Chains A and B, each alone.
Chain A
Amino acid sequence: MTKHASKAPGQIIVVTSGKGGVGKTTTAAAVATGLAVRGHKTVVIDFDVGLRNLDLVMGCERRVVFDFINVINGDAKLNQALIRDKRIETLYVFPTSQTRDKDALKPEGVANVMQQLREGYDYIVCDSPAGIEKGALTALYHADSAIIVTNPEVSSVRDSDRILGILAAKSRRAELNQEPVKEHLLLTRYSAGRVANGEMLSIDDVKEILSVPILGVIPESESVLRASNTGTPVILDDESPAGRAYEDAVARFLGEQRELRFVAPARKSLFRAIFGRA
């Protein structure tokens, strides 16, 4: 790598939600991959100690040698623990440990690792565990910006509101009285058809309730399961609406203006209606 020590410090992005199962790991993998595809040197970190899963979603589970806790305890160097992606040259995965010790991520150790990563990478994407306990707090503490992953559903929206409150009060930026963590809302598992039928909260509903700008809307899509089955970040699937919606979200994150896609209900074609392949 020809990045010099003089480069601007990297930006830390936390992918968080409060609620589990809304698509944090899928999103962290997709966003990190999207940033790396655009040439930014990017590392994606699994903060879910005890429940390592980012490695599977990224497809590098058989290449894990050292993990986050090994680095914090000084049993391995940071560079030994980082796994270089086989598809994208500028992408690295930092796996977590499978220990059951909840206190394994010592704050000073994490701060030290984050500082080193800031120096060597353009973007550091932190995949937060669910909940509002220590693990989630550690994941969001160092963030410069946050991607709040929300499903258009009551419990997810409520938990997102909770985590927004925590970001504003408990992050490093809040404690140091710096400019607040930049918030982005990512709506996932969105079903335009159900919204049109009044069965699902719309983009505008969620935006109005949480008052956070929308970074993207990811349609409910079979391609997400297909991607995790094979360990391929869904953003690399250019054919799938979810992949393209993630690509739009990454472009918006980097400041591009892009219209929302896949937010209008698909019209049923006569062909599909007869032959029944959706």
Chain B
Amino acid sequence: MRILEFLFPKRTASPATAAIAKERLQVVLAHERSKRESAEIVPLLKRELLSVIAKYVAIKEDMIQVKLGRDGSASVLRINVEFDGLRKPKRARA
């Protein structure tokens, strides 16, 4: 039997599934990486925004919301800020 298999190898080649694996991986990893990056960026962005806004208005940390998401094919950054009132403007230094 083995001699026959060697001399007449089966022509029923299996489909090239590796290409499918590669494509699926590239799609899912692109998605997961962008989620990971936004998870890193959002807290930094929030902290910096807070420090700038707090110079001008009375604000606490839980009064600012930063969300990075998608709307259809576009990436959307939503920033929502509540505040209690304006701070008195400081005199500009001479």
Contact indicator A273/B29 (Cβ below 8 Å): no
* Contact residues in A for B3 (Cβ distance below 8 Å): 273-274
Q: Does B13 contact A (CB under 8 A)?
A: yes
From the candidates B15, B17, B18, B29, name the one contacting A205 in the complex (CB within 8 A). Answer: B18
Contact indicator A197/B2 (Cβ below 8 Å): no
Inter-chain CA distance A197–B25, complex, in Å, is: 19
From the candidates A195, A208, A268, name the one contacting B18 in the complex (CB within 8 A). Answer: A195
From the candidates B2, B17, B24, B40, name the one contacting A276 in the complex (CB within 8 A). Answer: B2
Interface residues on B, range: 20 to 34
Q: Does B84 contact A (CB under 8 A)?
A: no
Question: Which residues in window 149-199 of A have CB below 8 A to B?
Answer: 153-154, 157-158, 161-162, 165, 169, 195, 197-199
Query: Nearest B residue to A162 by beta-carbon distance?
Result: B32
Contact bitstring B2-43, A, C-beta under 8 A = 1, else 0: 110110000001111111011011101100110010001000
Inter-chain CA distance A41–B13, complex, in Å, is: 50
Chain A's nearest CB lies how many Å from the CB of B84? 35
Contact indicator B33/A205 (Cβ below 8 Å): no
Inter-chain CA distance A165–B17, complex, in Å, is: 27
Contact indicator A157/B19 (Cβ below 8 Å): no
Main secondary structure of the interface of B (DSSP, over half): helix
Q: Does A209 contact B (CB under 8 A)?
A: yes
* Contact residues in B for A153 (Cβ distance below 8 Å): 21
With A162-B32, A268-B6 known to touch, is A209 a contact of B26 (CB < 8 Å)? yes
From the candidates A157, A199, A208, A275, name the one contacting B17 in the complex (CB within 8 A). Answer: A199
Q: Does A270 contact B (CB under 8 A)?
A: yes
**Tally of contact residues, A, Cβ under 8 A:** 24
* Contact residues in A for B33 (Cβ distance below 8 Å): 161, 165
Contact indicator A197/B6 (Cβ below 8 Å): no
Inter-chain CA distance A225–B29, complex, in Å, is: 32
* Contact residues in B for A275 (Cβ distance below 8 Å): 2
Query: Nearest A residue to B16 by beta-carbon distance?
Result: A198
Contact indicator A199/B16 (Cβ below 8 Å): yes
Chain B's nearest CB lies how many Å from the CB of A192? 13
With A158-B29, A165-B33, A165-B36 known to touch, is A198 a contact of B22 (CB < 8 Å)? no
* Contact residues in A for B32 (Cβ distance below 8 Å): 158, 161-162
Contact indicator A270/B21 (Cβ below 8 Å): no
* Contact residues in B for A202 (Cβ distance below 8 Å): 18
Q: Does A201 contact B (CB under 8 A)?
A: yes
Question: Which residues in window 178-235 of A have CB below 8 A to B?
Answer: 195, 197-202, 205, 208-209
- Where the two chains meet, the residues of A that have a C-beta atom closer than 8 Å to any C-beta of B are 153-154, 157-158, 161-162, 165, 169, 195, 197-202, 205, 208-209, 268, 270, 273-276
6 A–B pairs (Cβ distance < 8 Å), ordered by A: A198-B15, A198-B17, A205-B18, A205-B21, A209-B25, A274-B3
